Amino acid sequence: STDLTSTVGYDSIIQHLNDGRKNCKEFEDILKERAIIEEKYGKELINLSKKKPCGQTELNTLKRSLDVFKQQIDNVGQGHIQLAQTLREEAKKMEDFREKQKLHRKKLELIMEAIHKNRNLQYKKTMEVKQTCFCFLPYGALLYLFSLSHFWQLFLKLAQTKSALEDSDRNYQQSVITLEKIREEWQKEHIKACEFFETQECERINYFRNALWLHVNQLSQDCVQNDEKYEEIRKSLEMCSIEKDIDFFVNLRKTGSLAPAPVVYENYYNTERNATPVRSSVPVPISR
């Protein structure tokens, strides 16, 4: 401003710096809150991997895959906890940065306050003296088994009579024949059942593996999508220009390009001594 006592430009700068410091504090608070969320989420994932059973009766390769699955859940949880610690460290760096800037600014602001005070006092004093002089002028999956234990009772009765023995022998032979037919039928059905069960187990393992794979892909996709979101932030940061931001602020808040003109002494006492006040040349525009 061309007004010597005006601090509108200076006040605008200080306000802008304070706004910037406030914005840093807001980002710092987001980092701290995100750290709390990440830590809580990480701990819950670790508890999930340790306390929740998953495929305890599985064998061989699928079991190893499930073990890896649970271990990776734990690892992801540990990663979120580490991320929480990283975010806290970044928040602390931001806080240190803000406080460092605040400390450096405070020294300069004290100097500027003293300069403004001294300037304004002197200006007031000068104007008062001027007014004193001016006053003299006129303007101002399930299975089953069965037993043939009743054959032992039949065997004991064979010793009682030959007829009974022959009848029993015939009955025994018939029972053996019948049993063999049943055995052959059972074996065929057993093989068919085992083949069916094997097919079902292959399908189950394949489905379980694919579901597990899909779940991991979903988690990975979530990370990819998050990274894409963060990439948008990085792209926007690449477009961030310190010079453009400063220029924009200057153009938005500029108050002029000329410094205040020097205060010229005007002699009201001896008009003959200084009939025409001497003024300095036109003020040179100050550079940014």
What's the confidence (pLDDT) of residue 143? 37
Q: CA separation (Å) from 13 to 17, 118, 186, 233, 247?
A: 6, 20, 94, 27, 13
- Global pTM reads 0.66
What's the confidence (pLDDT) of residue 141? 39
Percentage of residues in the chain having pLDDT higher than 90: 7
Percentage of residues in the chain having pLDDT higher than 70: 71
What's the confidence (pLDDT) of residue 161? 53
What's the confidence (pLDDT) of residue 167? 60
46-50, 163-167, 206-210: which has the highest mean pLDDT?
Answer: 46-50
Distance (Å, rounded) from C-alpha 265 to C-alpha 130? Answer: 9
Which residues have a Cβ under 8 Å from the Cβ of 109 and sit 6 or more positions away? 14
Best CA proximity match to 9, nearest among 116, 110, 126: 116
164 falls in which pLDDT band (50, 70, 90)? low
Buried b (16+ CB within 10 A) or exposed e, 118-137: eeeeeeeeeeeeeeeeeeee
What's the confidence (pLDDT) of residue 122? 76
Q: Does 279 score more than 70 pLDDT?
A: no
- pLDDT tens digits along 97-147: 889 888 888 888 888 888 888 878 777 777 766 665 555 444 343 333 334
Distance (Å, rounded) from C-alpha 83 to C-alpha 37? Answer: 10
Question: Across the chain, what does the average pLDDT equal?
Answer: 75
Specify the DSSP class assigned to residue 193. H
Q: What are phi and psi of 160, to 5 degrees?
A: -75, -45
Q: Does 53 score more than 90 pLDDT?
A: no
Distance (Å, rounded) from C-alpha 148 to C-alpha 35? Answer: 71
Q: Does 24 score more than 70 pLDDT?
A: yes
What's the confidence (pLDDT) of residue 144? 38
What's the confidence (pLDDT) of residue 128? 67
Mean pLDDT on 276-285: 51
- pLDDT tens digits along 187-239: 778 777 777 767 767 777 777 677 678 778 867 877 886 788 778 778 777 87
Distance (Å, rounded) from C-alpha 73 to C-alpha 79? Answer: 10
93 within 8 A of 240, measured Cβ to Cβ: no
What's the confidence (pLDDT) of residue 7? 82
